[in-house]
Each structure stands twice: as structure tokens, then as C-alpha cells.
Chain A
Amino acid sequence: MSHLLSARSQMGISLAFHIIFAAIGVSFPLMMTIAEWRWLRTREPVYQVLAKRWAKGAAILFAIGAVSGTVLSFELGLLWPRFMEKAGSVIGMPFSLEGFAFFTEAIFLGIYLFGWERVPEFLHLLSGVMVAVSGVTSAIFVTFVNAWMNTPAGFDLVNGEFTNIRPFEAMFNPAALPEAAHMVLAAFCAVGFATAGVHSLLMLRRGRNRFDEVAIGIALTVGSIAVLAQGVSGDAIARMVAKTQPVKLASLEGQFKTEVGAPLRIGGLPDTKLRETKHAIEIPHGLSLLAFHDPNATVKGLNDFPEADWPFVTAVHISFQVMVGLGSMLSCVALLWGWFAWKRKQIGDHPLLLKLLVLCAPLGFVALEAGWVVTELGRQPWIIVGVLRTKDAVTEFPDLQLPFLLVSLLYFVLGCIVLWLLAAHVIADPRNRDADAV
């Protein structure tokens, strides 16, 4: 394995691992706060038990998110010291603010966990709100950094050096808001559907009960609103990419030729040798319409760019299709759930829907990971688009294969243990004090 590939793989594995726990840290607090709010409104004990249980789950997974996040912040320097040497000052601002937001989240999560019956009810709910808000805030700040790598701004480049740095302009770069909104919604969607799936499985195993029913209700509502809003945010991000990163747009759509009124491709396999995308269902003028809101807009194809500037087109295209496909599937489930809620039907009466939800449980996370593959692979071969190539940013440390193996092994073992614990505690043992108690 080459030097550069080792570094990229290590970074990729660390990010893919961390993002799961980060997403949980962002969205679980909202769901637990909603549960507590329902408790304060209705005084039905089931909501309080649910809030406590979700809070515990959040705390446990949050700790793993915290340590894997610590590793990532160091890896930025360990693997890409030249990137950080150049860009550190420019993107230090969102990183520092992220640190404070994360800290606030951790502190209020502590108050939330240990504050039952110690703090007044209203303040306890407020601390839940603080956890939720600061979790989202920290996700937004850290996504701002990634957005900057896609659409760098806020500096002047003089002889390869960054001068006249304007940290706030860098922070609010063109991709910042669309990317952050997309990421936060993705987290709500992934965690909402995963939680609903787990509670559906529990309900299938231990029979109809109020506890799982309200849990599914809250989780699915959060996930559904997020996935439907994701449609709007996806449109915003697509137009931003079309404007600022034409190579990325062409790769994710498998668009080789520059075309007036380009079609939207569903599925298909880009062939970079023949320079065409085969087996796709093509919707005429679709891409031009979606990316530029004009059916006859010109979409630049990959052929107009030097091949050295292309990302790994096949992987980017497939990941994009996976993300959009899963997003659309979950949107259908969301609409179905909306209809259920509208008709005031009880989900416990419909085992088929419960089974569908179980199948949907991992899909949000798969879409989330696929989305990050699109963003990160789609940015290659640049680490800062148009400014610094990834191969020029990698460390000179000689034996990168060793750290890569070490980190992979570590995350592999941790991943297995997390799955095993979840399986042992949640799925294999459906007898549950909480559910019996209410």
C-alpha cells in the first residue's frame, strides 16, 4: 500500500468510525428532550422513563464519540502536517468554537444525567435543550471546516503562502451553510430511523407496549421531518456544488461530455476509459434543471478538465446514487408514517410496518457514510480545492502502514465490541425493566 493511500485510508477509517458516534451525539439529545417535554406536558411516566433511558444511551455512545474525536483532531496533524501548517490559522476559528460547543454539550449532558430530582424540572428540561443545541452547534462548526476545504475563502494566496487571513470570512465560506444543514439533517435522519428500528424490533419481540410505541413515535417523527427537509437541503447543496465544484458535480452524476440540457442519471456505471456512463436511467434535462434550475443550462463534463484533476469517478458516482436512493426510500417511509399519524393509527397494530422499520434501521447511517464518501472522495485529488493537492499535504513520516494497521485494528475491535454489546443488551434480551414498569 502506498504512503499516500495509507494516510488516506487511516483518515477515512477514523472519520467513518467517529461520524457514527458524532451523529448520535448530535441527535439523541433532541429526542430525549422531546421525550422529557412530553412528560412535563402529559405527566405520563412512560415519557420520563424513555427520556432517562435515551439519555443513558446517549452518554455511553457520546464517550466513544469524544475519544474518537480526540484522535481525529490529532490525526489531522499526524497525517497532514503540511495542510495544517498552511491552513491551521485559517480554519482555527471554527475548530476552537467547536471545542467550546462540544464542551458545553458535555457539561450539560452531565447536568442532565445527574440532575434528575436535583435541579428544578424546568431547568432540567433547559439543560436538555442546551445539550441538543450545543451538539448541533458543534456539528455545524466542524462541518464549516470541511466546507472550507471544498470552497476555500478568507485568505490571499501569495507565492503559495496564505496571507491577509480573515478567519470569519473563511468560516462562512460558500459551502458552509448548505453543508452544515445537510450534515445536521443527515444525523437526525440516521439516528431517528435507527432508533425507530431498534424499538420496532423490541416491540416485535416483546409484544405491543406503550414504551416502544411512544419511542417509535418520537424517533420516527424526528427522522421523517429530517429526511423530508433533506430534499430541500440536497437541492441547495447540489446548486452550490454545481457553482463552485464543477468537477465534483460531473463525477457524482457520471457526466463526461459537456452538455446543454444534461440528463439526470439514475444508477449506471461510469467507465472512465470509454468516458461514458452506461446502464443508467436518464431523465432528459433533469440534471440541468436540478443543478441550475434551468432545463437548458450547460453542465460541464469531466472531459473539459484534465484527468489529473478527476476524483475516483466510479466510487463517487456509486456512493452518490446510494445516498440519494436510500434518502428517497426513507422519504417514502416518512410519508407513510405521516399518513399513519394523520389517521391516528397505532403502529403496534401493524407488524408489517414494524418489520419495514427494522429493515430501515441501518439505512440512514449507510446514506450518511455514503454522503461523506461523496464529499471527501469527490474533493480529491485536492485537500484544499484548487490550492493544495492531497499528495503534497501528506506527512513525511516513513512508515505510515504501521499506524494505519494499528488504527484499523483498534477501530475494528471497538466496532465489534459496540455491536456485540448492543446485540447482547438491546436485541437478545428484550425483557426490560423500563418497559415492564410502564
Chain B
Amino acid sequence: MNIASVLACIMAAALLLYVLLAGADYGAGFWDLLSSGPSKDAQKELIANAIQPIWEANHVWLILILVLLFAGFPPAFGAVMIALHVPILLMLVGIVLRGSSFVFRAYSTIDSEMRKACAYVFSISSSFTPFFMGILIGSLSDNRVLVSEDVSINGYLFNWLNPFSVSMGLLTVALFAFLAASYLTAEAATDELRRTFRNRTVGAGVAGIVLTVITFALSAEYATGLREGFTRNSVAICFAIIAWLAIAVSFVALYKGCFQLSRIMAAVHAGSIVVVWAVAQYPYIARPQRTIFNSMLSATVVHDIVLACVAGAIVLFPSLGILLYVFKDQRRNKAAASSSKVQP
């Protein structure tokens, strides 16, 4: 395996972790927006406890992908940043609004109007940020990111505003909602809450399946390259099968009341979809112009960056392990959870 592919794999792994960790946080915000019924407050509380402000750190995965992109494949980075300026900016606005309104909501207990407004901003931005992330991924795959002399040939709006990218955006929202709902089902303390989120897991899962089929159908017209990469690659097909099996098992597990298994299967499903996309997109970063090979300026630099990533990972993963252990321990102990929540 050459060094460009190694770096591309690291980027795909970071994307996978971002989807599994931050995706669930976004999905939780989406459910916050839709929380309703007699247990509305209990739903909101479960969601608030499930995401902690510290998990804003999840954005580091996104920053890492970005940094590796410009360090390793600068021309592709330039093309993406020029052609997709608008959706990236909208996604960033979402990230800022979401992160800060979450903090403000936790902070502003004295003024309930303010708190309500922040909660509203939080859940709306949690829903539209993944939509634009999906649009971004869709646009990278659909042969429209064409840049010549630093100008986007297909303009700055219609190179991403098309049925395929929009359907990818909706699919991302559904996928994150599915992930979050299955995590929340496992964490719910009462039967009523568990029932609510179980139904929502199924709803989001079904919506995801429908959107997957629509996206695949649309790819025949809009993203032929990606479709070809998908249908001809045995690894992609394998992971697609795993994704289907995982969602099926997750549904059965929900029905049988095995919520932990359902949660794991939801993560496997979401993860497999990321792998399918990454494999089908390979070796392109932005179709139809930029591949990892024609964008790598210096193999030596990419080599050094990969070494830096390995060194970083040696520090990162054990630390992450300790954090997750402390977190899990904390969740198990409800008393500790209520005392360490962010309070003003």
C-alpha cells in the first residue's frame, strides 16, 4: 500500500469515528427538537445527560480530516474549499450555533426564556448541521466539483444543490437520528422512555433505508462514478451487506429488548455505510478531478504526517480509553452523574 492510500485510510478512519461519536450527539439534538408527548421533559433530560459539553472535543476528528487534507493533498483541499464554500460555511454556522447554544442552555438556568431560546437554537442547529455535512459528502461524490484557475466551473450554488446531494444530506440526518435513538434507548431509565426511543429508532431506521434506496437510485443519474466504484468493488459490496444485516439485527434486538445489542448494531450499520462510501469514492477526494494521487505534492511530507499521526494516536487512544472508562463509571452511578453535571 502506498503512502497516499495510508493517509487516505487514516482520514476515512477519522470520518468513521466522527460519525459514530459526534453523529450520535447531533442525532440527540435532532430528537431534542422532536421531543413531544407527556414525557417531553424526561426525554429532554435524558438527551441532555447523554451529551456533555466536553464532547465538543469530537470536532477534533473533523479538524483532523481537514488538516490531513491540506497537509497531504493541498490541491484537492483548495478545490473543495473554493467550489463548496457555501455549504461548508453553512455547516460551520451550524457547528458554532450548536456548540455555544448547548453551553448557554446549560449555563442559563435563571432566565427560562433565554434557556428556551438556546434550547431551540441547539436542536435546530443539531439538525441542519448534519444535513450540510451530508450535502458536502454528496457533492464530493457527484462529479460537479470542477475548479479551474481557482474558479468553480459549475458555479457556487448548483454544484451542490441537486437531488443527489440533498438526498445524501437527508440520509445523514436519518443515520445520525437512528444512531442517537438506539444509544438513547439503551440509556433510558424508564419503560416509557425506552418505548418512545425504541419507536424512534425504528422510524429513523426505516427512513434511512428509504433514503438509501432513493440515494442509490439517484446516483445512476448524478453520481455515476461513485455508483461504478460501489458496484464493482467487492469490499464495498461486502460492507453494504454488513450494513443491511446490522440494521436487520438491530431491529430484531429492539423487538426482543436487547438494547445493548441494538446499539452496537446501529453503530456497525453507520460505520459500514461510511466504509462503503469511502471505498466507492477511492481514490477520489473530489470527483471528477482530484484523486489522492494527483493531489499529493510530496510523498516525503505525507510520510512525515503519517508518522505524526501514529505518534499522536499513541497518546490519544489510551487517553480516550481512560475517559470512556470514567464516563461509563459515572453513568452507572446516578448520584455522581447529577453532581457533576454542568451547573452555573
Is B2 interfacial (CB-CB < 8 Å)?
Answer: no
Which B residues are in CB contact (< 8 Å) with A157? none
> Which of chain A's residues has its CB closest to B103's CB?
A63
Indicate if the CB atoms of B89 and A403 lie closer than 8 Å: yes
Which chain B residue has the least Cβ–Cβ distance from A84?
B70
Interchain CA distance A84-B150 in the complex, whole Å: 12
A160 at interface, CB cutoff 8 A: no
Inter-chain CA distance A119–B326, complex, in Å, is 8
Task: Return the CB mask of A72-101 against B: 1 if under 8 Å, else 0.
Answer: 011111100110111011111101110110
Chain B residues within an 8 Å CB radius of A97 = 308, 312
Chain A residue contacts of B102, Cβ below 8 A: 63
Q: Contact: A74 with B67, CB < 8 Å? A: no
Q: Which of B78-120 contact A (CB under 8 A)?
A: 78, 80-82, 85, 88-89, 92-93, 95-100, 102-104, 106-108, 110-111
* Contacts known (A56-B343, A73-B67, A113-B340); A395 close to B96, Cβ less than 8 A: no
Interface segment, A102-110, A194-202, A377-385?
A: A102-110
A108 with B95, Cβ < 8 A, contacts A85-B74, A96-B312, A396-B82 known: no
| Segment of B174-182, B204-212, B297-305 engaged in the interface with chain A | B297-305
A68 within 8 A of B: yes
Q: Is A165 in the interface zone, CB < 8 Å from B?
A: yes
Binds A, one of B26-34, B37-45, B54-62, B253-261: B54-62
Stretch from B240-248, B274-282, B313-321 that touches the partner: B313-321
| A71 close to chain B: CB less than 8 A | yes
CB of B342 within 8 A of CB of A67, answer no
Main secondary structure of the interface of B (DSSP, over half): helix
On whether the beta carbons of B330 and A89 are closer than 8 Å, the reply is no
**Contact yes or no, B77 A85, CB < 8 A:** yes
Q: B111 to chain A: which residues have CB within 8 Å?
A: 424
Taking each of B68, B312, B343, which has the highest tally of chain A beta carbons within 10 Å of its own beta carbon? B312
Q: Could you tell me the distance between the alpha carbons of A88 and B296 in the complex, rounded to whole angstroms?
A: 11
Residues of A within 8 A of B59 (CB): 66-67, 70
B330 with A93: CB separation less than 8 A: no
Q: Is the CB of B77 within 8 A of A77?
A: yes
The residues of B that contact A92 with a CB separation of less than 8 Å are 67-68, 70-72, 301, 305
Q: Is the CB of A110 within 8 A of B103?
A: no
CA distance A115 to B150 in the complex (A): 50
CB–CB B54/A77 < 8 A: no
- Tell me if A398 counts as interface (CB < 8 A to partner B): yes
List chain A residues, Cβ under 8 A from B72: 89, 92
**Considering only CB atoms, which chain B residue lies closest to A426 in the complex?**
B344
Q: Beyond A73-B66, A85-B74, is A64–B99 a contact (Cβ under 8 Å)?
A: yes
The reply to whether B103 and A60 form a contact with Cβ atoms under 8 Å apart is yes
A412 within 8 A of B: no
For A75, list chain B residues within 8 Å (CB).
92
Q: Report Cα–Cα, A414/B111, bound state, in Å.
A: 17
Inter-subunit contact B96/A68 (CB<8 Å): yes
* Nearest CB of chain B from residue A126's CB, rounded to whole Å: 11
With most chain B CB atoms within 10 A of its CB, the pick from A76, A100, A108 is A100
The answer on a CB contact under 8 Å between B300 and A165 is yes
Could you say which residues of chain B place their CB within 8 Å of the CB of A62? 53, 56
On chain A, the residues within 8 Å of B327 by CB distance are: 110, 114
* Contact across chains for B81 and A78 when beta carbons are under 8 A apart: yes
Cβ–Cβ contact A89 & B308, under 8 A: no
Q: Is A397 an interface residue (CB 8 A)?
A: yes
Query: Known contacts A67-B99, A103-B316; is A425 also within 8 Å of B344 by CB?
Result: yes
Count residues of chain B with CB under 8 A from any CB of chain A. 71
8 Å CB contacts to B: which residues of A182-230? none
A223 to B319, CA, bound (A): 30
B100–A417 CB distance below 8 A: yes
Is the CB of A118 closer than 8 A to any CB of chain B? yes
Chain B residues near A82 (CB-CB < 8 A): 78, 150
A395 touching B81, Cβ below 8 Å:
yes
Q: Report the bound CA distance from A56 to B103 in whole Å.
A: 11
Q: Is the CB of A78 within 8 A of B54?
A: no
In the assembled complex, the Cα of A71 lies from the Cα of B99 at a distance in Å of 12
Q: Is A339 an interface residue (CB 8 A)?
A: no
A108–B319 CB distance below 8 A: yes
Q: Is A116 an interface residue (CB 8 A)?
A: yes
Q: How far is the CA of A373 from the CA of B252 in the complex (A)?
A: 60
- B1 CB within 8 Å of chain A: no
Taking a contact as CB atoms under 8 Å apart, the answer to whether A114 and B150 are in contact is no
Residue in A closest to B150 when the chains form the complex, CB atoms: A396
Q: Is the CB of B54 within 8 A of A59?
A: yes
Q: Does A421 contact B (CB under 8 A)?
A: yes
A145 CB, min distance to chain B CBs, angstroms: 11
A172 to chain B, nearest CB (A): 14
CB distance from A130 to the nearest CB of B (A): 8
Query: Which of B56, B60, B80 lies at the interface centre, i.e. has the most chain A CB atoms within 10 A of its CB?
Result: B60
Is the beta-carbon distance between A424 and B297 smaller than 8 angstroms?
no
Assess whether A70 is in contact with B63, with CB atoms less than 8 Å apart.
Answer: yes
Q: Roughly how many angstroms separate A114 CA and B327 CA in the complex, as a whole number?
A: 7
| Contact call B100/A414, Cβ cutoff below 8 A | yes
Chain A CB within 8 A of B336 CB: yes
A436 sits at the interface (CB 8 A): no
Residue of A69, A77, A165 near B298 (CB, 8 A) is A165
B323 at the interface (CB under 8 A from A): yes
Beta-carbon contact of A63 and B100 below 8 Å: yes
A103 and B55 CA atoms in complex are apart in Å by 10
Q: Other CB < 8 Å A-B pairs besides A67-B56, A78-B88, A85-B74, 18 of them?
A: A56-B342, A60-B107, A64-B100, A64-B103, A67-B95, A70-B96, A81-B150, A85-B75, A92-B301, A93-B308, A96-B64, A113-B340, A114-B327, A114-B330, A163-B298, A167-B301, A421-B104, A425-B107
Q: Can you list 7 A-B pairs, Cβ within 8 angstroms, ordered by A?
A: A59-B342, A60-B107, A63-B103, A68-B96, A410-B97, A424-B111, A425-B110
Q: Which residues of A are in contact with B by a Cβ distance under 8 Å? A: 56, 59-60, 62-64, 66-71, 73-78, 81-82, 84-86, 88-93, 95-97, 99-100, 102-104, 106-111, 113-119, 130, 162-163, 165, 167-168, 395-398, 403, 406, 410, 414, 417, 421, 424-425, 429
Residues of B within 8 A of A (CB): 52-54, 56-57, 59-60, 62-64, 66-68, 70-72, 74-75, 77-78, 80-82, 85, 88-89, 92-93, 95-100, 102-104, 106-108, 110-111, 149-151, 156, 297-298, 300-301, 304-305, 308-309, 311-312, 315-316, 319-320, 322-323, 326-327, 329-330, 336, 340, 342-344
Give the 5 A-B residue pairs with the shortest CB-CB distance, closest first: A92-B71, A106-B57, A100-B312, A67-B99, A88-B70
